[in-house]
Amino acid sequence: IVGDVKSSRLDAETNSQIYVPYAQDAAWGGLSLAVRTKGEPEMLAAGVRGAVRAIDKNLPVYDIKTMDDVLSASVANNRLVVLLFGVFAMFALLLASIGIYGVIAYSVAQRTHEIGIRIALGAQRTDVLGLVVGQGMVPAVIGVIIGLIGAFAVTSIMQGLLYGVSATDPAVFVGVSLLLMIVALTACYIPARRATKVDPIIALRYE
């Protein structure tokens, strides 16, 4: 069935085709022979050459390659583009993590005076810590949700560069979201815990 054959590119639509005997339309000037094997394809190269020579010893046999080689060559350009996207995405993720940590840590550190007041009025350090961390995580959660929505919106651009892989792989989205949430949680927890350890008198003097 011609409709099941990808004769050009894996990501290209299959046009209407019809198979005819090679002897009826030999104007192509060449012939590709596909051989299905049960063992290592490389081991049959000599046998294929011998079989062709037995039919016509003047017929050259060249460019022998496995189907894995053909598939790799077909998606080589897309793989390069995806690799570049991946490298830039890793840098973007690193910069985003550093930015998130810096902004949240600074915001929590600015609340040292408030934390001192709460502790001086009798609030438990663990309660203050939980309050500060919880409030600091709210914008992080909102940011991750907005980021996921934006990521799903642009996956159509990436889908055309991928073969056999979904651009909306749940593992990737979950992994990146968890990483950013861990960074945000760490950025909230460390300065908040440090602030709750400070003597309330010193914290009250913090500007």
The range of the structural domain enclosing residue 60 comes to 2-72
Per-residue HEC secondary structure of 161-186 comes to: CCCCCCCCCHHHHHHHHHHHHHHHHH
Q: For residue 180, give both structure tokens.
A: 């950013």
In whole angstroms, give the CA distance from residue 101 to residue 69.
Answer: 45
Q: What is the pTM of this model?
A: 0.57
Q: Which of 72, 103, 128 is the last residue of a domain?
A: 72
Q: Are residues 87 and 149 in the same domain?
A: yes
Give the type of residue at 151: A
Q: Are residues 37 and 55 in the same domain?
A: yes
Q: Which of 72, 87, 119 is the last residue of a domain?
A: 72
Q: Which of 84, 73, 91, 101 is nearest to 10 (CA)?
A: 73
Q: Are residues 67 and 80 in the same domain?
A: no
In whole angstroms, give the CA distance from residue 161 to residue 156.
Answer: 9
pLDDT in tens, the chain (207 residues): 555 666 666 666 667 777 777 677 666 666 777 778 787 777 777 887 888 888 888 878 777 888 788 777 777 777 787 788 778 888 888 888 888 888 878 887 788 788 888 888 888 888 888 888 888 888 889 988 998 888 887 776 666 656 555 667 788 788 888 988 888 888 888 888 887 777 777 766 665
Q: Are residues 98 and 61 in the same domain?
A: no
Torsion-angle region of 164 (φ positive above 0: left; ψ -120 to 50: alpha; else: beta): left
